[in-house]
Amino acid sequence: MKGESLITREKREIEARGDEDKSIDPANLEMFEVARRAGIETVFDRLERQEPKCPYCYTGVSCRNCVMGPCRITAKADRGVCGATADVMVARGLLRNTLGGTASHVDHARHVALTLLHAARGEAPYPIRDEAKLRSLGRALGIEGAESMPLRELAERVALLALEEIGATHANGGRWLRMHATQERLETWSRLGVLPEGGMLPVLEGMHRTSMGNDADPVNLILGCIKAGIADGFYGLHLSTDLQDVLFGTPRPKFSSAGMGVLEAEYVNIACHGHVPILSEKIVEAAEALQEEARKAGAKGIRVVGICCTGNEILERQGIPAVGNELNSELVVATGALDAMVVDYQCIFPSLAQIAGCFHTKLITTAPIVKIPGAEHIEFEERRADEVAKEIVRLAIESYRQRDPGKIHIPKFKTEVVAGFSVEALLEVLSKINPSDPLAPLVDSIAAGDIKGAVAIVGCNNPRVPHDLMHVELAKELVKRDILVLATGCAAHGHAKAGLMKPSGYRLAGERLQRVLKALGEAAGLEALPPVLHFGSCVDNSRINQLLKALAEKLNVAIKDLPVAASAPELTTEKAISIGTWAVALGVTTHVNPLPRIMGSELVTELLTQKAEELLGAKFIHSPDPRESADMLEEVILEKRRKLGLAA
Ligand code: SF4
Ligand code: MSK
């Protein structure tokens, strides 16, 4: 059966791996042995025990959507009990995955909008940190008097509109879409019938159409994926970023450090893990306020560090050190130096409780929708944010007293990182070169070929791929070819740890790109800009669209015609699938690896990897090899350059 040889090969490769093949992060390599000695199992061990993968699930030709099943397509059964074909199973499965991603981001956005509402009404202790952004949002949303209205009143109006948009049930939504999408895309999506009315409806509708006895047209189901991807981009990612910037400030470049070596044995170490800065920002504040209590407990102070995307959020705004990404999270606990790991939601392995149980470390869950047996649950209510954050930090101080110094092992690796490249920050740098037309220097560099193009490298880690290898090797290949890289999510952590996000990293770029990075860096008061720019968390992929829209409008071309592409080279979560779908819907060809479960349908594979280009001007591409992936992405960029009449 299709996929079987791939499954056998993957099993063989995974089982043959030594520690040195599982990760390129030197801290992980050191910790594998430490964890083994302590009898701790990790995601890498559990992966081996899941091999070989089920060939039906691997290729997407299985279904559990009703109780006549589960069904699968086999040599003797070319349909499920209800009559669903392989194409239908694959398309329905992919749509359900996309909905999982969209639901996660839209629910995150809803949480932020509610916090803004409570803050505006004086019911939650969050100030408005970016007045200019709030006023410009107010204007873009058509709120009369947004310029001069009292700040809290405007914040309440914006929050209520955001909630209304998220929950729009018919054609009453669309403001966030119109605010952030180009006219050309709105027309394309309208023609295809994939304009989402709001954030929640495409998820509701998608669950409905994929349940037994509904949509059985694989093409129509894939259009549902595109609609859900678009909803994710505008009502999940953009809405979250917009309101988080209002509440916590729009990022500006900040120096910090990345890697497991940011932990310090003499300090109370608290790791914030998850996605939403509503909690982690308060933990940072509470830690600052309680430094003295930590000193009284015998520590030198309190050190807050970040994991995954909430780590990116507090790095880009507060310069909080980044201790690692998804595939570091378990081994960070295994250092024995963590007094508390505080989690909100998304990408939190249930295994963390088991590992924390081997140490004094408190794993603290805080969201009503994320509870883990073995963890301590302290519900984080925004209205009592300061109080709860202090309670959590005090628990970490208490936990510090229980430490067993004999169990502590902190790898020394850490690297300098500059994060916080919002579009606003980038424009400020560019305006030092051309105050009246800040985008001009960027456009000129692209036109001249000094910047051949740009690739966004985003998304997760996946233990099926050696940890960070694709992120880092792909980025190195691209920057060497004068292609600028923008990164978010766990990819950004990987790049930071590998030294691609520090100013001196510019030397890894090709000569022409080096000159641009040097010039822009000097304008920003740095030695150079790093060759990989830290654009933030997963929801901050919105910032990449913000930049593309600005460039497209400046050049008067469609985004699909810009010399840009994207890659999720260690794809894991449903959220990465929905973000990738959004990118393709925007007109950005997107490389993915490993492949989602589509191989069991030639029709669906062809739709996504070929036909999508006719409909959207972009498609999915796949390669598991960093150099080959770079070749493919460079070819996409060169093709766009040729079409624009630019020299290669
Ligand atoms: Fe089987 Fe159809 Fe039920 Fe899926 S929906 S489990 S294919 S009968
Ligand atoms: S945290 S979604 S593993 S990037 Fe955003 Fe990392 Fe992927 Fe989670």
* Tens digits of residue pLDDT in 290-333: 999 999 999 999 999 999 999 999 999 999 999 999 999 999 99
Q: What angle do CA 186, 188, 189 make, to 5 degrees?
A: 65
Nearest to 349 by CA among 135, 99, 41: 41
pLDDT digits (tens, 9 = 90+) for 207-248: 999 999 999 999 999 999 999 999 999 999 999 999 999 999
29, pLDDT greater than 90:
yes
Q: What angle do CA 21, 467, 283 make, to 5 degrees?
A: 145
644, pLDDT greater than 90:
yes
The pLDDT value given to residue 150: 97
**Candidate from 315, 323, 326 with most ligand 2 atoms within 8 A of CB, to mutate:** 326
Is 408 touching ligand 1 by the criterion CB < 6 Å? no
Query: Distance, CA 490 to ligand 2 centroid (Å)?
Result: 5
Q: Can you tell me the distance from the alpha carbon of 547 to that of 439, in angstroms, rounded to the nearest whole number?
A: 10
Q: What is the mean pLDDT of the chain?
A: 97
Give phi and psi for 174, each to the nearest 5. 120, -5
Q: Can you tell me the distance from the alpha carbon of 284 to that of 90, in angstroms, rounded to the nearest whole number?
A: 44
Instruction: State percent of the chain over pLDDT 90.
Output: 98
Average pLDDT of the residues in 96-110: 98
> Which listed ligand is nearest to 324 at the C-alpha?
2
Name which residue sits closest to atom 7 of ligand 1, judged by CA.
Answer: 80
**Candidate from 212, 215, 221, 601 with most ligand 1 atoms within 8 A of CB, to mutate:** 212
Contact 604, 98 (CB under 8 A): no
What are 11's two structure tokens? 């099993």
Average pLDDT of the residues in 476-480: 98
Is 216 touching ligand 1 by the criterion CB < 6 Å? no
> Which listed ligand is nearest to 79 at the C-alpha?
1
Every domain range in the chain assigned CATH 1.20.1270.30:
99-248
454: left (phi over 0), alpha (psi -120 to 50) or beta: beta
> Which listed ligand is nearest to 307 at the C-alpha?
2
Average pLDDT of the residues in 370-398: 97
Query: Distance, CA 11 to ligand 1 centroid (Å)?
Result: 29
Query: Distance, CA 203 to ligand 1 centroid (Å)?
Result: 20
The pLDDT value given to residue 3: 67
User: For residue 26, how many C-alpha atoms fall within 13 Å in the half-sphere facing its CB?
Assistant: 12
289, pLDDT greater than 80:
yes
Name which residue sits closest to atom 2 of ligand 1, judged by CA.
Answer: 82
5, pLDDT greater than 90:
no
Helix (H) or strand (E) holding 453: strand 453-457
Q: Can you tell me the distance from the alpha carbon of 633 to that of 567, in angstroms, rounded to the nearest whole number?
A: 8
What are 176's two structure tokens? 């966030």
Contact 569, 495 (CB under 8 A): no
378, pLDDT greater than 70:
yes
Pick the more confident residue, 18 or 4. 18
Q: Can you tell me the distance from the alpha carbon of 86 to that of 79, in angstroms, rounded to the nearest whole number?
A: 7
> Which listed ligand is nearest to 579 at the C-alpha?
2
Q: How confident is the model at residue 2 (pLDDT cuts 50, 70, 90)?
A: low
pLDDT digits (tens, 9 = 90+) for 524-558: 999 999 999 999 999 999 999 999 999 999 999 99
For tokens 């985008």, the residue is: 439
- Residue 432: count other Cβ atoms within 10 Å of its Cβ: 14
Name which residue sits closest to atom 7 of ligand 2, judged by CA.
Answer: 460
Could you check whether the bond before residue 438 is cis, i.e. omega within 30 degrees of 0?
no
Question: Ligand 2 pocket by C-beta < 6 Å: which residues?
Answer: 275, 308-309, 325-326, 346-347, 459-460, 489-490, 538, 572-573, 575-576
Query: Distance, CA 622 to ligand 2 centroid (Å)?
Result: 20
Contact 73, 600 (CB under 8 A): yes
Nearest to 232 by CA among 166, 172, 316: 166
Is 64 touching ligand 1 by the criterion CB < 6 Å? yes
Contact 51, 45 (CB under 8 A): no
CA separation, residue 108 to residues 49, 73, 199, 413 (Å): 33, 36, 11, 33
Nearest to 343 by CA among 382, 311, 321, 318: 311
Average pLDDT of the residues in 39-46: 97
Contact 357, 407 (CB under 8 A): no
4, pLDDT greater than 80:
no
Query: Distance, CA 191 to ligand 2 centroid (Å)?
Result: 32
Nearest to 641 by CA among 423, 445, 434: 445
Length of the chain: 648
Contact 490, 452 (CB under 8 A): no
Chain-centroid distance of CA 337 in Å reads 27
Handedness of CA 347, 353, 359, 365 (dihedral sign): positive
Out of 1.10.287.3510, 1.10.600.10, 3.30.360.10, 1.20.1270.30, which CATH number does the structure's domain 99-248 have?
Answer: 1.20.1270.30
The pLDDT value given to residue 173: 66
Q: How confident is the model at residue 197 (pLDDT cuts 50, 70, 90)?
A: confident
Q: Can you tell me the distance from the alpha carbon of 172 to that of 638, in angstroms, rounded to the nearest whole number?
A: 41
Q: Can you tell me the distance from the alpha carbon of 243 to that of 126, in angstroms, rounded to the nearest whole number?
A: 12
285, pLDDT greater than 90:
yes
Name which residue sits closest to atom 6 of ligand 1, judged by CA.
Answer: 69
Every domain range in the chain assigned CATH 3.40.50.2030:
260-407, 416-643
Contact 529, 506 (CB under 8 A): yes
Contact 189, 585 (CB under 8 A): yes
* Domain 416-643 grouped into CATH 3.40.50.2030: yes
CATH architecture for the domain at 260-407: 3-Layer(aba) Sandwich (3.40)
Q: Can you tell me the distance from the alpha carbon of 526 to that of 321, in angstroms, rounded to the nearest whole number?
A: 19
What's the pTM? 0.97
Task: Count Cβ atoms within 10 A of the Cβ of residue 202 and give its class: 0-12 exposed, 13-18 middle, 19 or more buried.
Answer: buried
Contact 166, 239 (CB under 8 A): yes
Query: Distance, CA 62 to ligand 1 centroid (Å)?
Result: 9
Contact 596, 605 (CB under 8 A): no
The pLDDT value given to residue 236: 98
pLDDT digits (tens, 9 = 90+) for 137-182: 999 999 999 999 999 999 999 999 999 999 998 766 689 999 999 9
